[in-house]
Amino acid sequence: MFYFCIVVGIVSMFYLMVETFYELVKALNDVNGFNLAYTKMSLGALGVGILIEWKGLKNIFLGYIKVNLLMFLTIPLLVITFIPPLYWIDWYGLGGPFYKQVLQIREVKAVLTVVTGILLVRSLNSNHT
């Protein structure tokens, strides 16, 4: 039953991300609409990352919680990944060094958000190996 819930959860997150992608395309000229759609997309990607670490998530639900040093990396990544690319472009312009481009490209930030979800579960799981 647990595996079924994980699969349904991941499929649901992907569905949310696909639906949100269409909202992003429609909202390209509306900054507020774009930011809301981008936040939804980020939540979906974070959810996928969390559900990928299903064993750790199960341990967290069973009460095996222990915050470790990985949280010091996870919190800044969580904040960074939820800032829409339009703001990064506005602050730093287009192009530039690699680390700036990572923050400006939606697809790369989606992958970074999934990784952040994985790190979030690992930073809270006391049984992580």
DSSP state of 53: T
- pLDDT at res. 79: 92
Q: Rounded to 10 degrees, what is the CA torsion of 10, 121, 100, 37?
A: 40
Q: What is the pLDDT of residues 3-22, one digit of tens each?
A: 787 788 888 877 877 777 77
pLDDT in tens, 39-97: 888 888 999 999 999 888 888 888 888 888 889 999 999 999 888 887 887 787 777 77
- For residue 102 the two structure tokens come to 């990572």
Q: Mean pLDDT throughout 28-46?
A: 80
Name residue 118's amino acid. I
The pLDDT value given to residue 27: 65
Phi, psi of 83 (to 5 degrees): -85, 120
Tokens (6 digits) for 126 = 């006391």
What would the two tokens of residue 64 be? Answer: 């095996």
The pTM (predicted TM-score) of the whole model is 0.79
Per-residue confidence band for 38, with pLDDT thresholds at 50, 70 and 90: confident
Q: What is the pLDDT of residue 128?
A: 56
Q: What is the 3-state secondary structure (H, E, C) of 9-67?
A: HHHHHHHHHHHHHHHHHHCCCCHHHHHHHHHHHHHHHHHHHHHHCHHHHHHHHCCCECC
